[in-house]
């Protein structure tokens, strides 16, 4: 198996990316293709004594996408970028997956136009793994789609179900829809309709989730649009940073608190590991016809290594095949049930209106009362 890695993507590229690729090649024995400016990439690889023994090759890409560049501009003007070249290798089946810590918008745009969405998927979604009181959960979308239609939220729920089942090992994942209240009447029109579609699917839909439920672990899959998901992600990252900083300051107050920290350090390290994004490496872009992992822009070599491993895992467990099957299985059933409910509501409304009109014809005083009101 070969996995393409964007060597020029990220705040610490190419140094951290190359080191992460070397670590992955050593630990997992996976083949790595590094795309980018070949002279710079080879210069980094030459620092490793076992370079010639490692299953790593370099493919030149003359364009570099900067983190601040517009996806639309990049899509038109940098068709020989390390991102585009890498994704083309996946499309041509010269590699099994793609990993990048580069410009997220550019990765999304090139992935969508190069790999194309899976059959039955309107738009791909970024799926992030979150720590909860009951183990890891997955939230999607975390930023790929600011505005979503009902059918897209439904598809996110199905894709999240597939990921939680086959990657997180949840036999029957609990899928929840992030909203402003638990009642099915809460939320906007899109979330209310998505509620009905998810409810009529074959997956285990547990209803609406309020924000306070996310980290309690009451759902294995949290569904939301990319606007809400990305805000939740950034708040979570800053909250974790704030808690860590405050605890560090607290434990450095005096010798007693320092002693307490020394005794509790192993437990704090475990906690830190559970909230460290580098442990999972990156977020899969679910719904494209190929495996694509989007790593954090400030990824360390460890994060890149783990992102490569996550890509390998998705390929080996045939993630896209499961998504395709689950989408096909649930879409027909859910659409039929959804439209039955819509027709039922329309029929009920029409029946009530007809009954009301008939009553007014029988008793004209009702018509007068209606006009007075």
202 in a structural domain: no
- Chain-wide mean pLDDT for the chain? 88
Lowest-pLDDT range of 3-12, 104-113, 176-185, 324-333: 324-333
**Region at 28 (left for phi over 0; alpha for psi -120 to 50; beta for the rest):** alpha
What is the average pLDDT across 356-367? 54
| pLDDT bucket at 206, cuts 50 / 70 / 90 | very high
Question: How much is the pLDDT for 241?
Answer: 81
281 in a structural domain: no
Q: Are residues 366 and 312 in the same domain?
A: no
Q: Which domain holds residue 9?
A: 1-116+288-317
What is the average pLDDT across 113-117? 95
Q: Are residues 311 and 354 in the same domain?
A: no
What is the average pLDDT across 90-114? 96
203 in a structural domain: no
What is the average pLDDT across 63-67? 93
pLDDT above 90: percentage of residues in the chain? 69
- 328 phi/psi in degrees, rounded to 5: -60, -40
Question: How much is the pLDDT for 169?
Answer: 93
> Which one of 317, 336, 357 terminates a domain?
317
* pLDDT exceeds 90 at position 268: no
* pLDDT exceeds 60 at position 133: yes
Closest by CA to 289, choosing from 97, 132, 140, is: 97
3-state secondary structure of 323: helix
Question: How much is the pLDDT for 357?
Answer: 57
Q: Are residues 368 and 292 in the same domain?
A: no
Q: Are residues 362 and 303 in the same domain?
A: no
Question: What is the Cα–Cα distance from 267 to 270, expressed in whole angstroms?
Answer: 5
Q: Are residues 88 and 37 in the same domain?
A: yes
* pLDDT exceeds 90 at position 276: no
Question: How much is the pLDDT for 367?
Answer: 55
3 in a structural domain: yes
Question: CATH number of the domain that 23 lies in?
Answer: 3.40.718.10
How many domains would you assign to the chain?
2
326 in a structural domain: no
Question: What is the Cα–Cα distance from 120 to 333, expressed in whole angstroms?
Answer: 13
**CA angle (296, 301, 304) in 5-degree steps:** 50
**Distance set, CA 49 to CA 15, 146, 327 (Å):** 16, 46, 47
Strands of the 137-140 sheet, one edge to the other: 56-60, 31-36, 2-6, 97-100, 291-295, 282-286, 125-130, 137-140, 221-223, 174-178, 204-209
13 in a structural domain: yes
Closest by CA to 16, choosing from 102, 86, 85, is: 102
Question: How much is the pLDDT for 25?
Answer: 96
* pLDDT exceeds 70 at position 165: yes
What is the average pLDDT across 178-199? 91
**Distance set, CA 204 to CA 8, 134, 165, 177 (Å):** 41, 17, 11, 12
pLDDT tens-digit readout, 227-258: 999 999 888 888 888 887 888 888 888 888 88
Q: Are residues 3 and 76 in the same domain?
A: yes
248 in a structural domain: no
Question: How much is the pLDDT for 341?
Answer: 54
* pLDDT exceeds 70 at position 340: no
Task: Map 107-141 to HEC letters.
Answer: HHHHHHHHCCECCCCCCCEEEEEECCCCCCEEEEC
236 in a structural domain: no
Q: Are residues 24 and 97 in the same domain?
A: yes
């Amino acid at each position: 198996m070969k996995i393409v890695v964007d060597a020029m993507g990220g705040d610490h590229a190419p140094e951290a990316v190359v080191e992460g690729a070397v670590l992955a090649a050593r630990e997992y024995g996976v083949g790595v293709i590094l795309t980018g400016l070949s002279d710079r990439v080879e210069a980094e690889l030459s620092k490793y004594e076992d370079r010639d023994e490692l299953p790593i090759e370099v493919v030149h890409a003359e364009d570099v996408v900067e983190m601040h560049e517009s996806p639309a501009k990049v899509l038109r003007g940098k068709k020989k970028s390390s991102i585009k070249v890498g994704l083309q290798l996946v499309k041509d089946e010269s590699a099994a997956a793609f990993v990048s810590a580069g410009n997220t918008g550019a990765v999304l745009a090139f992935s969508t136009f190069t790999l194309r969405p899976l059959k039955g998927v309107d738009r791909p979604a970024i799926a992030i793994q979150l720590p909860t009181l009951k183990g890891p959960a997955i939230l999607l979308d975390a930023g790929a789609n600011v505005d979503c239609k009902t059918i897209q939220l439904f598809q996110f729920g199905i894709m999240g179900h597939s990921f939680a089942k086959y990657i997180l090992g949840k036999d029957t994942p609990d899928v929840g829809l992030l909203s402003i209240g638990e009642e099915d009447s809460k939320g906007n029109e899109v979330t209310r309709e998505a509620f009905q579609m998810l409810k009529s699917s074959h997956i285990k839909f547990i209803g609406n989730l309020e924000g306070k439920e996310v980290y309690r672990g009451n759902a294995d899959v949290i569904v939301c649009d990319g606007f809400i998901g990305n805000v939740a992600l950034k708040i979570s990252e800053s909250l974790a940073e704030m808690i860590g900083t405050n605890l560090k300051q607290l434990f450095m107050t005096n010798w007693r608190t320092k002693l307490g920290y020394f005794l509790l350090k192993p437990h704090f390290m475990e906690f830190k590991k559970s909230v460290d994004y580098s442990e999972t490496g990156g977020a899969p872009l679910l719904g494209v016809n190929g495996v694509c992992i989007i790593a954090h822009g400030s990824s360390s070599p460890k994060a890149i290594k783990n992102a490569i491993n996550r890509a390998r895992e998705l390929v080996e467990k045939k993630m896209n095949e499961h998504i395709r099957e689950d989408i096909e299985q649930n879409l027909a059933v859910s659409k039929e049930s959804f439209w039955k409910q819509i027709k039922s509501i329309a029929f009920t409304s029409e029946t009530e209106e007809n009954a009301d009109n008939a009553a007014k014809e029988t008793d004209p005083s009702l018509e007068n009362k209606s006009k007075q009101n």
